[in-house]
Amino acid sequence: MVRPLLFCLALTSCSTTDTVQPLPANELLTRLSLDIRGVRPSVAEYERVLDDPEAIDALVDDYLQDPGFGPRVMDLWSEVYLTRSEGYNVGPDSFGVTAAAFYSSIGEEPLRILERVATEDLPYTDVVTADWTMANETTASLWHTDYSATQSGWQPAQYTDGRPHSGVLTTNGMWWRYGSTDSNANRKRANQVSRIFLCNDYLVRPIDFDRNVNLLDQDAVEDALRTNPGCVNCHVSLDPLASYFWGFYYVNSDSAADIVPYHPEREAQWRSRTGVAPGFYGEPGYTLADLGQQIAADNRFPECAVQQTWELFLRRDAAELDAASLSRHRDAFLSEGMTLRSLIRSVTDSPEYRSGPTDDAGYVPRKMATASLLSSQIEGLTGFSWTRNGIDVMSSDRVGFQTLAGAPDGDTVTASSRHPNATLLLVQERLAEAAATTVAEQDRQDPSNARLFGRIDFSETPDTDRATMAGQVQDLHLAIYGRRVDADGPEVDANLALWTDLYGVTNDTQTAWAGVLAVLLRDPDFLFY
């Protein structure tokens, strides 16, 4: 389908009706498949739902068991954890591993814990209480774990350097990403724990700050933290939380030897550094294992999980008018043993999630695909993965276009773009062109395993066999958009006219079909869902 680019820029503000209606079945199936497993539905799934809209619920059950469910959970919550980073104090040269292996492994550790919790239906509390972590060959070669040399890929493991085990809270992947200076005294780490697991970000609290405090005088600052009401308001709970993390304090953060192991001998440094004992909102503790149990027992922990799931799947911030819905999903989450799969099912069953495009408050806007989702759905359709030197260019800024494609980098950009911009559309254009060129060539060379061009043999032209070409365009629209279009409809006419123009320039049928497919993959209906 061919439409002006400006339509894409205006699409997020469109409203098709004053009354909220559910999405048509095929569009809802697209949303569910992309959100839950990262790819578009198959042609057979589209046809099943077009013939029987009631089949959606059974397909959702299948999607929640799909191999793509775990990776999709990691992609979604990577925007919460922000550990997928390329900015560490040490690099691959310090360990003799490749850059591709190093940067694709370090920040994955916390997310892999979450993935296992989600896919194995473990209680969500395991995220902060588990006595295991996840490791692969790369992290096992860097860190002290019991990962076996006979294993491969990401597997459960335990650290062997004397650290307590408390899920994500005791992983190098988390605390290499969130370091601490002497003066910060682990407060940054404490805030990340509060933000990620309790949805309480100290940095967004309003502060009534006393301008008479001399920020250049360390003693004056420390005194203000203990006595100034504007400071105490936050630090009375933040500083005890920070005191749990001295075992991860690094004397030399540029030294691999210092930052690899946990340091039990440093756990009590709070005594000389801040004088504030470890504690969690008035409840004392001693180790990070205690902190994990305290977080797991806090009512805000499941409430935060519900809020994050709601916001990630609806692609908008939770608001006061969502209170009743959030409460309902929290009840479902708790009643189903706090499994992430049950929570996601509850949210995706909600009328807010399943609504059609509307400006009415409280519903889901038409969502723009994130960089990872744009990449995964194109790979699902065409088999094309855009890499360079073994690194996915859609998830890297060192060798790729991560932030240009609207993705967070875990450091300076902390959320996916929700609106198109010039660089994102350029990345989409190049990705679409590369994928279309690749799949057209592959389908021509191996027609028995054709992914998209299964109806033609690339010898047809509109003059010699328009019917077959029209059928191929119909197939593409069904596979890409989940829509049936008429052989003599405007979509087919426009696409064949484009094919004719491209063929007139290139005199090559394969190139002309690749051009048509590239346009379809750049359409607003592919970027928005």
Which of 262, 256, 248 lies closest to 185, judged by CA? 248
pLDDT of the residue at 4: 32
CA–CA dist 482, 491 (Å, integer): 14
pLDDT of the residue at 9: 31
The Cα-based distances of 284 to 40, 184, 191, 240, 244 in angstroms read 49, 21, 18, 9, 10
- How would DSSP label each residue in 21-71? -BPPHHHHHHHHHHHHHSSPPPHHHHHHHHH-GGGHHHHHHHHHTSTTHHH
Contact 487, 470 (CB under 8 A): yes
CA–CA dist 288, 109 (Å, integer): 17
Tens of pLDDT along 276-294? 999 999 999 999 999 999 9
164 backbone φψ class: left, alpha, beta (φ>0; ψ -120 to 50): beta
Tens of pLDDT along 341-366? 999 999 999 999 999 877 777 787 78
pLDDT of the residue at 221: 60
Tens of pLDDT along 467-517? 999 999 999 999 999 999 999 999 999 999 999 999 999 999 999 999 999
In the chain the first and final C-alpha atoms are separated, in Å, by 15
DSSP E strand stretches across 345-501: 387-388, 391-392
For the chain, give the number of residues.
Answer: 529
What pTM, to 2 d.p., does this model score? 0.90
Tens of pLDDT along 61-91? 999 999 999 999 999 999 999 999 999 999 9
Residues of the chain with pLDDT under 70: 1-19, 206-233
Report the SS3 class of residue 368: strand
391 forms beta bridges with 388
CA–CA dist 524, 1 (Å, integer): 9
Contact 243, 251 (CB under 8 A): no
Helix and strand totals (H; E) in the chain: 25, 6
Instruction: Give the position of tokens 């619920």.
Output: 57
- Sign (positive/negative) of CA torsion 394, 438, 476, 423? positive
